[in-house]
């Protein structure tokens, strides 16, 4: 009976549209199954011995990816309890203390963000120290630099959202420094704030950037980053 149900499921059109090769019971089907699956295909077919040593990479890239996933999940949960309004933002953050595990959720998001900045930076240092930016990995090195910038952008845009004194004056000082950029400083500051001073427009822009724009771009670049690691022959060798 159980075998019959399994055969019906695996023989359905929906199953065949998801797993086009069927049950991988031959070497050819196993190869096609891995080749057609993104999560399997993203990993290299072979791993070099140095790539398996924890002391070579310290899993900094994987830890950064894991932290990004944790931040995405906790960020989505926090969005259910947050309103991007100068009248409610601060009180919504304070109200998290009254929600079951709300304080833990916020601290997990906050400390996860700090940890991600550290691990991404250390990952870049490791790549530079082991000269993993050399041909044919120059393009992936540039993507990594872009991801570091986006990580800092995520941290900075999330800084204003609690709308407390530390956030308000931190963003005020930061955007004032931006205004001293030669020729285009005033335009950069106005673009970031949406006004001449930190207010509702700035909070809304930082909210959209932090929750939608920057994570979306970072997610795409991360997928390309992992794909290029595989296409460039896996983790680069030691010096």
The per-residue pLDDT for 238 is 72
In a domain? residue 188: yes
The per-residue pLDDT for 234 is 80
Residue 137: band (very low, low, confident or very high) from pLDDT cuts 50, 70, 90: very high
Check pLDDT > 90 for residue 71: yes
CATH code for position 209: 1.20.810.10
In a domain? residue 47: no
Q: Can you read off the two tokens belonging to residue 140?
A: 């992936």
In a domain? residue 79: yes
Give the residue among 114, 121, 122, 128 at the shortest CA–CA distance from 67: 114
In a domain? residue 8: no
Domain limits for position 127: 59-231
DSSP 36-56: H-HHHHTS-SS--GGGG-HHH
In a domain? residue 46: no
Count: domains in the chain: 1
Residue 9: band (very low, low, confident or very high) from pLDDT cuts 50, 70, 90: low
Q: Can you read off the two tokens belonging to residue 217?
A: 């771009």
Check pLDDT > 60 for residue 116: yes
Measured CA to CA, the distance from residue 144 to residue 124 in angstroms comes to 7
Q: Is the pTM of this model over 0.75?
A: yes
The per-residue pLDDT for 55 is 87
In a domain? residue 42: no
In a domain? residue 53: no
Check pLDDT > 90 for residue 11: no
Helix residue spans in 11-51 (DSSP H): 13-18, 27-36, 38-41
């Amino acid at each position: 009976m159980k075998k019959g149900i399994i055969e019906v499921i695996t023989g359905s059109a929906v199953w065949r549209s998801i797993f086009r090769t069927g049950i991988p019971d031959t070497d050819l089907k196993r190869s096609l199954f891995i080749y057609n699956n993104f999560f399997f295909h993203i990993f290299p077919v072979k791993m070099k011995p140095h790539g398996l040593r924890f002391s070579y990479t310290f899993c900094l890239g994987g830890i950064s990816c894991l932290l990004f996933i944790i931040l995405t999940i906790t960020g989505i949960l926090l969005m259910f309890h947050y309103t991007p309004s100068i009248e409610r933002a601060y009180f919504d953050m304070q109200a998290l203390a009254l929600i079951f595990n709300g304080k833990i959720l916020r601290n997990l998001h906050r400390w996860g963000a700090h940890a991600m900045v550290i691990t991404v930076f250390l990952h870049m240092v490791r790549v530079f120290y082991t000269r993993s930016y050399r041909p044919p990995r120059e393009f992936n090195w540039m993507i990594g630099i872009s991801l570091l910038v986006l990580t800092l952008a995520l941290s900075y845009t999330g800084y204003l959202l609690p709308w407390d004194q530390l956030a308000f004056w931190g963003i005020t000082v930061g955007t004032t420094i931006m205004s001293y950029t030669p020729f285009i400083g005033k335009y950069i500051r106005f673009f970031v704030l949406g006004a001449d001073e930190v207010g509702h427009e700035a909070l809304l822009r930082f909210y959209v950037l932090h929750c939608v724009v920057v994570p979306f771009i970072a997610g795409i670049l991360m997928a390309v980053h992992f794909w290029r690691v595989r296409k460039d022959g896996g983790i680069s060798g030691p010096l």
